[in-house]
Amino acid sequence: MAYLFTSESVSEGHPDKVADQISDALIDHFLAFDPTSKVACETLVTTGLVVLAGEVNTSTYLDVQTIARDVIKKIGYTKAEYMFEADSCGIISAIHEQSKDINQGVDRKSSDDFEAKANAQGAGDQGMMFGYATKETENYMPLALDLSHKILQELADVRRENTDIKYLRPDSKSQVTIEYSDDNQPQRIDTIVVSTQHDDFDADEAMLAKIKSDIINIVIPRVKAKLKPELQALFTDDILYHINPTGKFVIGGPHGDTGLTGRKIIVDTYGGKGAHGGGAFSGKDPSKVDRSAAYATRHIAKNLVAAGVCDEVLVQVSYAIGVAQPCGIFIDTNGTAKVSLSDGEIAKIVEKTFDMRPYAIEQRLKLRTPIYSETAAYGHMGRESKIVKKTFANAGQTAEIEVELFTWEKLDYVDKVKAAFGI
């Protein structure tokens, strides 16, 4: 019997994502001027106010107010009527030094030898992290989440173009429900939900009718046009649309709802497919395995599927705080394995192929570079790996750095995986 599966996304202007982006902008600036920085930075945003809190061990000083204001301005909160505006909001910093009790297990002194460093650097916390990949899409992501992200990215593009639709404000959410067949193949899109903040530009009934028409007739066709033909075919005339289903959505952003770092962890990962260990990503340097090991398990999962080991896979790794070697690696191929091995046997080979000590992950995925601002909206997974030049300015200093974004999305281990599995 056919079944339905749903995933959601939120835009860069959603209050929780505003908080994530500020936290990750701080991470990037710390790493740009001191790559050894240890940082855990949380952000709260509400009406006219930003609160920064967290722990830092670094040799650099940051103008955190300017960095936060630049992020808010880039997102689009630039008008006083939003009740949260880049130049006028208050910014309070309660960032302080990292606990030496935590740091002692993470930052042990060692020689410059790779093995010595890898064995010396323990995990920044205990916990379990998950990675997932599926052949369902070109980027090995669950389809419902991928479409949810694409709808909001297109909505943001339309907002910034300010041509076809002129009333859009930064805050928005999307949700896509897909009907699958018994053999787990997507058949059609059942429901699309879009809630977008907007100007108060007409009487309610006429205003809501125009917003609905514009989303269905302008935004959705732009999304569809960028997809492969087999995915375009899922957009039938029978889709049920809920566009701003509660009515007008003028009050939004941090004025409508307080935002906090780390509250959109399912949006950030796999949209409810697979599993999640519970740890947020944004605001954390890569010594925090909540972040680095989640990226590493995605890297493993994607390369396993791309190499033909399986069509779908969930990878779990777990750590003890201060200990370099993982407690264990778990693999679940959900019955899709293409090799004559149990999931436990696959896990043993994975363990030998991918070094999951925190220092090794940092080095393999180039995580001690300022690459995190780009992750903080529209998902940390399924993105394009590319090399870019970034410029950071702070307190009279400037740093221009070439970095590689989304390294965990690279298929650079496919040949090694094939060799390890005899494919």
Positions at the binding site for Mg(2+): 16
Contact 279, 251 (CB under 8 A): no
Q: What is the C-alpha to C-alpha distance for residues 302 and 315, in angstroms, rounded to an integer?
A: 10
**Annotated binding site for L-methionine, which residues?**
55, 98, 257, 288
d(CA 327, CA 122): 12
> From the annotation, which residues make up the binding site?
14, 16, 42, 55, 98, 171-173, 248-249, 257, 263-264, 280, 284, 288
The H-or-E segment that residue 350 falls in is helix 343-353
User: In terms of Cα–Cα distance, which of 352, 345, 311 is closest to 331?
Assistant: 345
Q: Count of CB atoms within 10 A of residue 342's CB?
A: 12
DSSP state of 384: P
Q: Which residues contact 243 (CB under 8 A, 6 or more apart)?
A: 193, 194, 195, 208, 211, 212, 215, 216
Residues annotated in a binding site for K(+): 42
Alpha-carbon span 235 to 421, nearest angstrom? 39
The secondary structure of the chain in percent helix, strand, coil, rounded to multiples of 5, reads 35, 25, 40
Do 178 and 146 form a contact (C-beta atoms < 8 A)? no
Q: Binding-site residues for ATP, please?
A: 14, 171-173, 248-249, 257, 263-264, 280, 284
